Amino acid sequence: MSELLREKINVTKPFMPPIKIYKSYIEEIYNNLWLTNQGPLLKELEANICSMLGLQNFHYVTNGTIALQLALRALDISDCEVITTPFTYVATISSILWEKCKPVFVDIEPDNFTIDVNKIERKITTKTRAIMPVHIYGYACDINSIQKLADKYSLKVIYDAAHCFGTFLDGKSLLNYGDISTCSFHATKLFHTIEGGACIVKDKSISDKLELIKRFGHNGDNHICLGINGKQSEFNAAMGLSNLPFLESIIKKRKHISDLYDEALLKYLYRPRKQKGLDYNYAYYPVLFKSENELLRVLDHLNNNNIYPRRYFYPSLNKLSYLEDYQECPISEDISSRIVCLPLYSELKDDDATRIVKLIKEVL
């Protein structure tokens, strides 16, 4: 078959449940006329997720970025410094800046690309109020060491766990750690609600505060505090309820493709190190090339064959032009220039994955 006639293969493809399942929920919405404002389907989705992952104080919200902003606001993190990683999606940094805080970058580990805990302490100042690490690609940060530092300096920990739905560490969901963990249910994620996100809060009083903030800061006619509209609709919750029963099979299929890639590519390319005790969700398939030039040659060859990986995550965010100052992070800058995520989704065919491998090898 001519390459030009082949179906375009993107880095990911949203999973769509059988339409009859989704339609049944939509009919329920039409019948009860409850479209938003913490409706019954939203509450059902929250309860089902908590039961599946062993979570408490779970808040299903509009998207992953709002989740981060709500977390900062609920913990009273403002007009201060927040320690974070430059190797992540821009929403992590945007949320910090949007809440009038300064991101202080700590470079990453060269093995699994999460924040280097050995470099955090030297960045802590009297202005530091929080640490916002990222479980990048679904690989776990050094949770115990981060918490020890937070306890030592009385800092809050907000985990950007956007990639972690379905990942467990020592039998416990990665969403259970920190003062607040946030998640994303964007259409590109392995579990999605079209758009959506979540906050998982350790302390019940903070959870109650976040619940108030996400609903404009008022109960009925009693206006209690400044708030925002972080509520999610019943239609999005319906998609979540339709997708959730397929989570196990989605992860299984993604693992199958990842194993296929591993067998063919590990002798040529570097992969992040998976922590001991990590039950991974196969959210992404990142590979590290020897040089940016090699990466660009591979991308060009794949694109010419209608295959479109993505440079997750490029550039290193300490180099954003609109930041106040440049903070050097040489490892992140190097890794971000050489890394790419290959196509990975549950409907990707073995033949297509094999063809992707073949095309990469033609360049290497």
pLDDT of residue 1: 45
Instruction: Tell which residue, 239, 167, 285, 260, has the closest CA to residue 15.
Output: 239
Low-confidence ranges of the chain (pLDDT < 50): 1-2
Write out pLDDT tens, residues 50-99: 999 999 999 999 999 999 999 999 999 999 999 999 999 999 999 999 99
pLDDT of residue 7: 87
Amino acid symbol at 195: E
Who's near 176: CB < 8 A, 6+ residues apart? 54, 55, 200
Q: Which residues share a beta bridge with 61?
A: 197
CA angle at 89 for the pair 83 and 95, rounded to the nearest 5°: 55
Q: What is the pTM of this model?
A: 0.96
Q: How many helices, marked H, and strands, marked E, lie in the chain?
A: 11, 16
Phi-psi region of 151 (alpha: psi -120 to 50; beta: other; left: phi over 0): alpha
Write out pLDDT tens, residues 118-162: 999 999 999 999 999 999 999 999 999 999 999 999 999 999 999
Instruction: State the Cα–Cα distance between residues 344 and 347, nearest whole angstrom.
Output: 9
Helices (H), the chain: 19-32, 40-53, 64-74, 90-98, 143-153, 204-213, 234-243, 247-265, 292-304, 330-338, 350-363
pLDDT of residue 5: 56
Instruction: State the Cα–Cα distance between residues 124 and 76, nearest whole angstrom.
Output: 18
Instruction: State the Cα–Cα distance between residues 308 and 7, nearest whole angstrom.
Output: 11
Instruction: State the Cα–Cα distance between residues 265 and 246, nearest whole angstrom.
Output: 28
Instruction: State the Cα–Cα distance between residues 165 and 186, nearest whole angstrom.
Output: 12
Give the domains, in start order, of the chain with CATH numbers.
Answer: 3-8+247-363 (3.90.1150.10), 19-244 (3.40.640.10)
Tokens of 340: 């790419």
Q: What are phi and psi of 138, to 5 degrees?
A: 90, 5
